[in-house]
Amino acid sequence: MQTITIDGFTLTAQQVVNVARAPQFRVALADSSRAALKQSRDYIESTWMHDEAPMMYSFNTGVGLLKDTRIKVEHIELFQT
Per-residue model confidence as pLDDT tens digits over 12-35: 999 999 999 988 999 999 999 999
Same-domain status, 56 and 35: no
Same-domain status, 34 and 59: no
Give the DSSP letter of residue 53: S
Same-domain status, 55 and 25: no
Same-domain status, 38 and 1: yes
| Torsion sign over Cα 56, 60, 36, 13 | negative
pLDDT score, position 9: 95
Number of domains in the chain: 2
Per-residue model confidence as pLDDT tens digits over 41-72: 999 999 988 999 999 998 899 999 999 999 99
Same-domain status, 22 and 56: no
From the list 24, 31, 29, the residue with the least C-alpha distance to 11 is 29
From the number of C-beta atoms within 10 Å of its C-beta (0-12, 13-18, 19+), residue 38 rates as exposed
Which residue range(s) make up the domain with 15? 1-42
pLDDT score, position 80: 77
Same-domain status, 36 and 61: no
